[in-house]
Amino acid sequence: MTTDFFNYQGDTLYCDQVPLAEIAARAGTPCYVYSAEAILARLRAYDEALAGLDHRICYAVKANSNLAVLALVARAGAGFDIVSGGELFRVLKAGGDPAGIVFSGVGKTAAEIEYALDQRIHGFNCESEAELALLDALAARRGVKARVALRVNPDVDAATHPHISTGLREHKFGIDMAEVEGVYQRASALGNLKLEGVSCHIGSQILDLDALMEAVGKMLALAGRLRAAGLPIRHLDLGGGLGVAYTPDARTPDPRAFAAAIRAQVEGHGLTLMLEPGRSIVAEAGVLVTRVLYRKRSPRKEFIVVDAAMTDLIRPVLYNAHHEIVPLRRTALGTVRADVVGPVCETGDFLARDRDVANVLPGDYLAVCTAGAYGFVAASNYNSRPRPPEVLVEGAAWRVVRARETFDDLVRGETP
Ligand code: LLP
């Protein structure tokens, strides 16, 4: 894989201007590496395509919530989409402006809502009447008005992996399209809510622009109906979901094309457009670097055993996801068809199966590509494995922005 930010110079794989092997040798493996420039370029692509249109990019924190990444996003002037009190805490720690935060999620607790109200975040994407009632009561207790958008379920098939498809009627997300107007009307009558708009998010890793645009059409029609009923509506939040190219031949609309298509639909409606991209900002900006421990051959298969595991990157086993795997140093040894597996005691512990990968030897390094989104954030300590460090590359400089966990970290808070 080569992108604008991960490239071979000669036979050596670089992140921006830094050879990844230098990071691997000094920070150890496994290790996540992110390109700051790549993240900023993606944010710029959204912003440039929407220039002149009243809009706000709220980066979906769940995709990669490292403080250094959040600080970059904040400095670039974007807002944040959060789904928990913990994510709010992170954004504030990273210097993010509370006024640029929207709070999504189907199960916000009272404590989380109170925290968000106290921090004066921009607003809440609400998913049920019970949540609206709770938010109204908690806002009343503080004598404030909470800004609200109703998360709508537009009943659009995102045609992505079933675990990350969210916009069908049978999913737990959002308020059914048929019920939205009634809910909006009733919620508008609650004294401590300020109903401002509608939001949706039909799924993630969506490669089909038509599905996304179908949702846009349904949401605009809804906005029109709400207005016709005399209900105030100022913004339209279309969520995230734009897919990225996990394979070299994948055809993906880039953020610029995606944003331009939305712009063409939304322009002229007098609505503030909000987007909540996560993956399309950070996925291609990150790799997981791992070292080959052993080569092993069974009568049926060839295995490359590496020091990264499903605990570091769960996507292959959880979503049957494909991540390209490339050597940090190209050699003349060619390729081999193999499973790339980790040390965890589970058959599901693989990074690739039956894949033609570089014919690497123990001690060699590999990069698992397109791992900047939903990688580290979903890492676990299963098998009592300390979670890996995270490194941020800024041009020719790099620094560890999260230290590798220690054995002491593993038992923090436990009592024998
Ligand atoms: N907004 C809401 C309300 C969401 O639920 C999500 C993602 C996003 C925005 C950002 O979506 P994105 O632009 O990243 O597609 N762990 C899975 C992905 C789960 C996505 C959940 N929601 C994976 O590794 O593929």
- Which tens digits make up the pLDDT trace of 96-111? 999 999 999 999 999 9
Predicted confidence (pLDDT) at residue 162 exceeds the cutoff of 90: no
Residue 239: band (very low, low, confident or very high) from pLDDT cuts 50, 70, 90: very high
What is the predicted pLDDT for the residue at 1? 52
What is the predicted pLDDT for the residue at 159? 76
Nearest to 76 by CA among 93, 62, 90, 97: 97
Estimate to the nearest angstrom the gap between the alpha carbon of 121 and the chain centroid: 20
**345 has catalytic annotation:** yes
Estimate to the nearest angstrom the gap between the alpha carbon of 315 and the chain centroid: 13
| pLDDT, averaged across the chain | 95
**Ligand 1 contacts CB of residue 255 (under 6 A):** no
Q: CB pairs under 8 A, 24+ apart, for 20-24?
A: 20/287, 20/289, 20/328, 20/365, 20/367, 21/328, 21/329, 21/365, 23/289, 23/391, 23/393, 23/398, 24/289, 24/291, 24/328, 24/365
* pTM check: above 0.75: yes
- The average pLDDT across 321-349 equals 97
Q: Where exactly are the structural domains of the chain?
A: 6-34+283-411, 105-275
**Count of CB atoms situated within 10 Å of the CB of 29:** 22
Spacing, Cα 278 to ligand 1 middle (Å) = 6
What is the predicted pLDDT for the residue at 253? 83
**Ligand 1 contacts CB of residue 276 (under 6 A):** yes
Nearest to 278 by CA among 6, 42, 11, 3: 42
Output the six-digit token pair for 72.
């970059």
Predicted confidence (pLDDT) at residue 4 exceeds the cutoff of 80: no
Predicted confidence (pLDDT) at residue 171 exceeds the cutoff of 90: no
d(CA 36, CA 38): 5
Residue carrying structure tokens 């975040």: 121
Catalytic residue among 15, 31, 200, 345: 345
**Top-level CATH class of 105-275?**
alpha beta
Q: What is the per-residue pLDDT across 15-40, written as a single tens digit (0 to 9) for each?
A: 999 999 999 999 999 999 999 999 99
Predicted confidence (pLDDT) at residue 2 exceeds the cutoff of 70: no
What is the predicted pLDDT for the residue at 65? 98
- The average pLDDT across 241-245 equals 94
| DSSP per-residue string spanning 158-176 | --S-GGGB--STTSSSSEE
Q: What is the per-residue pLDDT across 74-98, written as a single tens digit (0 to 9) for each?
A: 999 999 999 999 999 999 999 999 9
Give all strands (DSSP E) within 200-268, no chain letters: 235-237
Spacing, Cα 187 to ligand 1 middle (Å) = 27
Spacing, Cα 270 to ligand 1 middle (Å) = 27
Q: What is the per-residue pLDDT across 304-322, written as a single tens digit (0 to 9) for each?
A: 999 999 999 999 999 999 9
Contact 88, 121 (CB under 8 A): yes
Superfamily covering domain 6-34+283-411 = Lyase, Ornithine Decarboxylase; Chain A, domain 1 (2.40.37.10)
Which atom of ligand 1 is found nearest the CA of 276? Answer: 9
Which atom of ligand 1 is found nearest the CA of 280? Answer: 13
- The average pLDDT across 153-182 equals 84
**Count of CB atoms situated within 10 Å of the CB of 409:** 13
